[in-house]
């Protein structure tokens, strides 16, 4: 009977996610906020709490994180990452300062410990690459002039998070200075090692992984990334970092085949991941932090739009493209939830609720702003023209 109950619960959850995804697709919004809401409904303190399938969903959520970061790594080669890091370093640093600071300040005001402050900085910093990439594709903007600027900023954030996550893990583990320094050194050395290997031995690696059978390619790479993620976890580096680094090592035809084969699997387990985060969050804890979440959403929407517009302007993009670049950076998602989940598991009280409310708000707001970026740009341009005409008539 227990097995039957688990199967029924899991089936109901997954089928419900499909309905939520269809609804989100129909209204043109990201399904992530709906997945979080579903988790809140079925979790601790929710309307219909699940009781039999928590462990399975927990493992599924961990696989979801691994696949999300693996797919992000597959989007870029080591050469592209090095080039983007050089060209977007100034804008990337501005992005970090402008968007990590609000989260850290709010956590400090709430009286959270250092671990909570560092974690909230990460929650508000990183744009959701998944939402941004889907919006670019859905809106037909992949060939726009501002798109390389957006992708470069996203890559910079991904690289930064590869170093940030092990630092956060060390702080959350209350590791001593020596242990923390070792963990950070291991993370940086791992990133550098993967870059060197990918640059020097990319061809042999891809030949070794390649197979005429999609089944064998999928089994080999998926098994390998799980092993690397497990080793990374043992080293206190982070499964997410391990998966991201594996993705970077593949390129060309192998990367294309992997993206094609892994995308449905990633979407399934990513949905489970967001639901699991909602399951771990008590909805009764959200009202006390709702005002903080709204304030953070407003401030970081302004800062993200400003960062995107500045980077696009420096690249010679016109006003409409600047606004499109700024608005598409607003949504937060997978990285924010990963960071909050790590902090919550280490005992930082309240961060799950604040992060869930914040992500839901900015995911919805960012998607809406992105879809209406062109009308907003035209209104701003029209206002500027009328203002200029008025000033000329006065003179």
DSSP readout, 138-161?
Answer: HTT-TTSTTHHHHHHHHHHHHHHH
Q: Could you read off the pLDDT of 107-156 as tens digits, one per residue?
A: 999 999 988 999 999 999 989 877 787 777 777 787 788 888 887 788 78
pLDDT of residue 237: 59
Q: Which of 279, 252, 283, 256 is nearest to 357 (CA)?
A: 283
Asked if residues 374 and 320 have their Cβ atoms less than 8 Å apart, the reply is: yes
Asked if residues 119 and 344 have their Cβ atoms less than 8 Å apart, the reply is: no
Task: Determine the Cα–Cα distance for residues 130 and 92; give it in Å rounded to an integer.
Answer: 18
Whether 191 has a pLDDT exceeding 70, the answer reads: no
Global pTM?
0.76
- Using CA atoms, how far residue 39 sits from 113, 131, 381, in Å, is 27, 19, 42
- Using CA atoms, how far residue 176 sits from 118, 167, 172, 241, 339, in Å, is 16, 12, 11, 22, 21
Asked if residues 339 and 168 have their Cβ atoms less than 8 Å apart, the reply is: yes
Domain extent listing, the chain: 70-347+355-379
pLDDT of residue 376: 82
Q: Could you read off the pLDDT of 13-63 as tens digits, one per residue?
A: 788 888 888 888 787 777 877 887 787 777 666 666 666 556 666 777 777
Write out the CATH class of domain 70-347+355-379.
Answer: mainly alpha
pLDDT band at 74 (very low <50, low <70, confident <90, very high): confident
Q: Which of 244, 267, 263, 238 is nearest to 338 (CA)?
A: 238
**Which of 66-70, 84-88, 178-182, 282-286: highest mean pLDDT?**
282-286
């Amino acid at each position: 009977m227990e097995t039957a109950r688990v199967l029924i619960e899991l089936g109901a959850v997954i089928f419900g996610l499909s309905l939520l995804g269809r609804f989100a697709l129909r209204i043109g919004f990201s399904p992530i906020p709906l997945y979080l809401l579903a988790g809140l409904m079925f979790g601790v303190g929710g309307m219909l709490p699940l009781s039999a399938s928590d462990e399975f969903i927990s493992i599924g959520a961990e696989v979801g994180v691994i696949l999300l970061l693996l797919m992000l790594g597959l989007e870029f080669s080591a050469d592209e990452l090095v080039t983007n890091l050089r060209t977007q370093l100034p804008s990337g640093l501005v992005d970090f300062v402008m968007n990590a600071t609000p989260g850290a300040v709010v956590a400090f005001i709430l009286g959270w410990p250092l671990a909570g402050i560092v974690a909230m900085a990460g929650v508000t910093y990183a744009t959701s690459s998944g939402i941004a990439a889907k919006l670019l594709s859905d809106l037909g903007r992949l060939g726009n002039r501002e798109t390389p600027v957006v992708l470069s900023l996203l890559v910079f954030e991904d690289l930064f998070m590869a170093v940030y996550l092990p630092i956060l893990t060390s702080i959350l583990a209350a590791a001593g200075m020596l242990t923390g320094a070792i963990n950070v050194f291991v993370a940086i050395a791992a990133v550098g090692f993967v870059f060197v290997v990918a640059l020097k031995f990319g061809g042999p690696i891809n030949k070794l992984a390649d197979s005429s059978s999609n089944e064998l390619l999928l089994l080999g790479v998926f098994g390998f990334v799980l092993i690397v993620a497990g080793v990374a976890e043992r080293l206190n580096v982070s499964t997410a970092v391990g998966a991201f680094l594996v993705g970077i090592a593949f390129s060309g035809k192998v990367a294309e085949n992997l993206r094609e084969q892994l995308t449905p699997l990633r979407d399934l387990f990513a949905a489970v991941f967001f639901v699991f985060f909602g399951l771990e969050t008590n909805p009764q804890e959200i009202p006390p932090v709702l005002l903080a979440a709204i304030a953070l959403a407003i401030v970081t929407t302004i800062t993200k739009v400003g960062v995107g517009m500045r980077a696009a302007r420096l690249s010679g993009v016109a006003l409409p493209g600047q606004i499109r670049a700024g608005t598409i950076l607003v949504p937060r998602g997978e990285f924010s939830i990963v960071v909050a989940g790590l902090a919550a598991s280490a005992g930082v009280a309240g961060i799950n609720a604040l992060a869930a409310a914040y992500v839901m708000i900015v995911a919805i707001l960012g998607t809406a702003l992105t879809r209406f970026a062109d009308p907003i740009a035209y209104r701003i341009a029209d206002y500027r023209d009328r203002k200029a005409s008025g000033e000329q008539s006065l003179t």
